[in-house]
Structure 1
C-alpha cells in the first residue's frame, strides 16, 4: 500500500506509511473525518486528563483497539508506558508484528517493530525503532 508523506508530499510506502497511518489514526477523533466518520480513536479525548491508573489503562487500551480495528498492517502485541512525568513528558512504546500485506488479507509477519509515541521536551511525534 502506498500513500503520500504528510510533511513532504512525496510518495510513501512500506513501514514508514504504517507509522504515519498510526499517527493519523491516534490523533483523529471518532466522527472527525467527513467521509469516514467511523475512523479514529478515543485517545485524543483522553489527553489532558489526570494521570492515574484508570486513565492510563484507558489510554493504552484505546491505542491497541484503534490499531487493531483500522490498521491491518500492524498487529499490536504490547503497549508499554515507558515514561510518564508530571511535566507532561510521556513516552509510550507500541510493539507488534509488521504485516506488509495485511491490508490484502495476508497475515504473514515480516518481523517485529516498535512505534514510539513521545511528547515533552524533545517535541511531540512518532518515532520507530
Structure 2
C-alpha cells in the first residue's frame, strides 16, 4: 500500500518505499523498535568528503541488509554531491522473493526542507 495515497502498489514499489523509510528514519525514533532506521540523518551536517561518503554507503547498506530481507544489494550510490535537502540514491541488486533484478532511483528527503 502506498503510504501517501493508500492505493495498491507493486512489490518492487513497496520495496522502494520501505528502503526510503529505512534510510530516512533516525535511529532511536521508533517506539518499540529503537534499533530501526539508519545513521544517514546523523551525517547530514557533516562535511561531504570521501570519509563521509564511505560512512553514508556503509550505514545505508547495513540498514538495508538488516531491515529489508527481500533485497540483496550489489551497488549503492548517491547521485548528488552533498547530503543537503533531497538526494537521489541509486540502488541495484536483486529482489529475492521475485528472483528478478532490481534497479531503482530513490529520492530521499534528508534536510529540513519540505
In the superposition, the TM-score normalised over structure 2's length comes to 0.81
Please, which of 25, 30, 34 is the counterpart of residue 27 of structure 2?
Answer: 30
**Structure 1 residues 86 and 5, CA gap change in structure 2 (3 angstroms):** closer
Root mean square deviation of aligned Cα: 2.5
Please, which of 37, 54, 72 is the counterpart of residue 40 of structure 1?
Answer: 37
Distance (whole Å) between structure 2 residues aligned to residue 9 and residue 21 of structure 1: 15
In the superposition, the TM-score normalised over structure 1's length comes to 0.73
Structure 1 unaligned residues grouped into runs of 5+: 101-108
Higher strand share: 1
Give the number of the structure whose alpha-carbon radius of gyration is greater: 1
User: Is the 1:84–1:91 contact (alpha carbons within 8 Å) kept by the matching residues of 2?
Assistant: no
Structure 2 match to 1:117: 106
Distance (whole Å) between structure 2 residues aligned to residue 27 and residue 86 of structure 1: 12
Structure 2 unaligned residues grouped into runs of 5+: none
Distance (whole Å) between structure 2 residues aligned to residue 86 and residue 66 of structure 1: 17
Equivalences for 1:73-84 in 2 at 5 Å? 73-84=70-81
SS at match of 2:62: helix
Higher RCO (C-alpha 8 Å, min separation 6): 2
Structure 2 match to 1:18: 15
